[in-house]
Amino acid sequence: MFLDLINIQKVRRAILYLLVIALTVWMQFSLLPDLRILGVKPFFAPVAAVAIGLWEGGVWGGVLGLLTGLSCDLALNESTVTFLILFAAFGFFAGVLGSYVINRRFFSFLLLSAAALLLTALVQAAPFWLFRGVSLDTLLPIALLQTLWSVPFAVPAYYLCKKISGKRRIN
């Protein structure tokens, strides 16, 4: 009786997206932390929330973005909930934009990912500017370099989430 209420396809997709999130967080914090260009590490975890939101809609994007942000906050051993809120918003807004405003093609996804990565870099730089007095002339090039260094990691996320969603038609 309860099996009739469960949509097996949605459960399967949710499990696959959770595996994508786990793989992203694992790569972010254990496999690639020493991969630096000019002292800047890539931070590509927001891309997972954007990709899931783009292909699955605002609700799934928000919830799974929340889980991605929680995983990143826990992995960084910080007491803040910055990434939790930020990635949930990225997933939700990517889903809304993908459903109503933009198409789901690769270029649109790349622009959304770059915007999310830049906003994440700026949020990471904000405490240094506000509380430690580091000038914006120093922080902005670092944020831009982190964004540019993280964008190539968006390519596999797009195709992986597209494959998991099973959607053939591009809006």
- Residue spans of alpha helices (H) in 2-105: 8-26, 45-56, 58-75, 82-96
Q: What are the tens digits of pLDDT across the range 15-67?
A: 999 999 999 999 989 888 888 888 888 888 999 999 999 998 889 899 999 99
Per-residue pLDDT band for 141 (boundaries 50, 70, 90) equals very high
Handedness of CA 126, 129, 131, 134 (dihedral sign): positive
- Model's pTM, two decimal places? 0.88
Q: Can you state the angle between helices 58-75 and 45-56, rounded to 10 degrees? A: 170
As assigned by CATH, the class of the 2-165 domain is: mainly alpha
- Scan for tokens 């000038």, then name that residue: 135
Residue of higher predicted confidence among 80 and 79: 80
